[in-house]
Structure formats: C-alpha cells, structure tokens
Amino acid sequence: MRAAVLTQPGAFEHVQLPEPECGADEMIVQVATCGICGTDRAIFRGEAPAALPVVLGHEFSGGVVEVGSQVTELYVGDQVTADPNVVDGTCFFCRRGETNLCSGLSPLGIVRNGGFAEFAAVPATNAYRLPDSVSVELGSLVEPLACCVRGIDQARVGLGDLVAVLGAGPIGCLLIQLARIQGAGTILAVEPEPARWNHATAAGADLTCGPDEAVAALREIRDPAPDVVIEASGRTQTAEWAIGLVRRGGTVVLFGVYPEQERLSLNPFRVNEDELRIVGSLNNPNTHQRAIDLLASGRVVLDGVITHRLGLEDLAKAMDRASFPGAGKITIDPQKNAAVLVQSAAC
C-alpha cells in the first residue's frame, strides 16, 4: 500500500508498505480522508514526540474492509471513524477512569501507524460507526470535534458567559460553535489572519478582530474581562496573554499544542489573588460518541471546515500552514495521487 512515513523531523518518505495485518480484536480500514492536525505539524517540526519512523495521521475515517475474529459489532462495509488514542486499560489512570492520561497510551498516527496511508489497522474498541447522516469525509473531523468537546467541558462555560477564543483556525471555529451551544452570551474570536475572520463569524462569533484590537473590543462589550478564555492557537506567547486577559475568578483553557521545550512567565500572586482557574485539555476521553451525536443532530455544522483536499504527495507542503493562507482544515486522501481540490469556504 502507498504510505507517507515520517522518518525524522521534516522528512517524509513515500513508500510501499505491506497492508497491515488484522488482529483478532481489530479491523482494517481503507482510509478515505485524513485531516492534518496541529499535533502532526508539531511532530513534523520536531516539537512533539513520536515513535519514528511512523505513519502520521490520527484524524481519519474510511470503510471497513476486514474484521478480526473477535469483532462482533462492526462489519465489512461499515463507514467508521477512529479514536486514535489506544489505552492500556490497566495503568493507574485508566483504573481511575482518566484514560486520556494513560501511562501506556499508544496513539494511532503517533506511536502506531496512522491514516496517511491507504489502509490502517484500528482496534475495534477505537472504531465508531458513522450514521448515514454523517459523510465519511466529515467523519474525519469527529476526532478534533471530540477533543473540542473535552475542551468545552474543561472550560465550564456558563449561560450568558463572555468567552474569548484565541485562534480562529478549524479548532477555534469548532470551539466557538460548542461555546455557543453551551450557552455563551457573547463570543469574541481573536485571530491575526484577517482571511480567517469570516470563518469565525460563520462559526458563531459575535465579534472577530486581531490581537491588537482585542482589549478595546472587550471593553466595548463589558467590563470586567472575559469569564472564559480559550487559547487555541498553540502559541506560547498567546497562552501567556490569555492568562493576563481573563477576569478575576475566570477560567483559562490552554487548548493548543505548544512546543514542549518552551516556557511561559506566570505571576502566582495573581493566580491566587484573582482565584484564576487555569486548565489543560488532553485528547477526547469519552467524547467521541458525543461528537458523532452532535454532528448527526445538526447541532454542530462542519460543512466548509475542510477547505483543501490534497493527495499524499502534497503532505510535506501541507505541514507548512503558511503555504495555505487562510486555510481551514486541510485533509489528505491517500487513495489519490495528487492535489484534487482546493476550495475556499467558511466554517
């Protein structure tokens, strides 16, 4: 099968690999679509760990072509999406129900081969059948949506809250939609690329501006500052700014994927004096099915989130987001040989 293997940071090798063998508790999925995530880009740059060499890609969906002897609830021909986070089920954290913190986590596309290949082996416990109302292409967005559901859970958005989302890429737009569903009163999207402002507006942001205008925009909405600030850009400098932006007693969610070696400056006096709540949000514990249900119900709309559909040969270029100004989600179709479609659309 055709696959793109990351052999070292910054270097993909396009190779022919044997098709994966199907374990008794696994299935083989013919990958239809695999999204490019900020984590993929961080691994490509050498800023996040992975078990190299590996086939990256953890946001994928496709059709089941083989099932193992122990698989009883999914069948050949089903359209599925994959939860890439394979847990050991026995560590301290798994036994506490905190599976996203699993000590033996072996994610597809990071430790195990993932979706930037024609076929992928997926444990049956990590595969979710897509309802007829959710296309296989949109199925590749279930994983990032499920992570955003976790992020909104962590944010504890309340009815009428003023929420600031920093970053209006695909993840930021999903977080905006979910914050609105959760009952946010006003949502401000802060995004340095004006080409993405219409994405944020389409997702439900009441106001969208660049970083330099954010403080003035917030003052026009309300004083004091936001109840909740969600940092979705993955920039350490912006994470530091988020903590300075939130109101006393407010919540900051550091959602982005940050370079592992970077540090931020934190004033512990203010954290204590203002009783700030600063939380992370890791993976998608028990949120995959909720994400599918939100899609199937029409409460979350993902039409237009995917703006570029490329082939495997374009993968290295797609790792540099600057090559696609204003892009939303960029996806790879491993079954195609080259770029097949570029379209501009709002979230």
pLDDT band at 260 (very low <50, low <70, confident <90, very high): confident
Q: What is the pLDDT of residues 22-38, one digit of tens each?
A: 999 999 999 999 999 99
Whether residue 150 is predicted with pLDDT greater than 70 in this model: the reply is: yes
Is 146-280 assigned to CATH 3.40.50.720?
yes
pLDDT band at 219 (very low <50, low <70, confident <90, very high): confident
Q: Read off the pTM.
A: 0.93
Q: What is the pLDDT of residues 187-210, one digit of tens each?
A: 999 999 999 999 999 999 999 999
Tell me which residue of 195, 176, 170, 173 sits closest to 37, measured CA to CA. 170
Is 26 in contact with 68 (CB distance < 8 Å)? Answer: yes
How many CB atoms are located within 10 Å of the residue 132 CB?
7
**Residue 340: its pLDDT value, please?**
37
Whether residue 339 is predicted with pLDDT greater than 60 in this model: the reply is: no
Beta bridge partners of 246: none
Whether residue 223 is predicted with pLDDT greater than 80 in this model: the reply is: no
Q: How many residues does the chain have?
A: 347
**Residue 90: its pLDDT value, please?**
97
Is 119 in contact with 29 (CB distance < 8 Å)? Answer: yes
Domain ranges (residues) in the chain: 2-141+302-342, 146-280
How many angstroms separate the CA atoms of 216 and 322, rounded? 28
**Residue 222: its pLDDT value, please?**
77
Whether residue 338 is predicted with pLDDT greater than 90 in this model: the reply is: no
Q: What is the pLDDT of residues 173-187, one digit of tens each?
A: 999 999 999 999 999
Strands 277-280 and 329-332: unpaired
Whether residue 334 is predicted with pLDDT greater than 60 in this model: the reply is: yes
Radius of gyration in angstroms for the set of CA atoms belonging to the chain, rounded to a whole number: 20
Is 289 in contact with 296 (CB distance < 8 Å)? Answer: no
pLDDT band at 337 (very low <50, low <70, confident <90, very high): low
Whether residue 115 is predicted with pLDDT greater than 50 in this model: the reply is: yes
Whether residue 347 is predicted with pLDDT greater than 80 in this model: the reply is: no
CATH architecture of 2-141+302-342: Alpha-Beta Complex (3.90)
How many angstroms separate the CA atoms of 197 and 105, rounded? 36
Average pLDDT of the residues of the chain: 94
Percentage of residues of the chain with pLDDT beyond 90 = 88
Is 188 in contact with 165 (CB distance < 8 Å)? Answer: yes
Whether residue 318 is predicted with pLDDT greater than 90 in this model: the reply is: yes
pLDDT band at 220 (very low <50, low <70, confident <90, very high): confident
Ranges of H-type helices in 246-341: 268-273, 288-297, 315-318
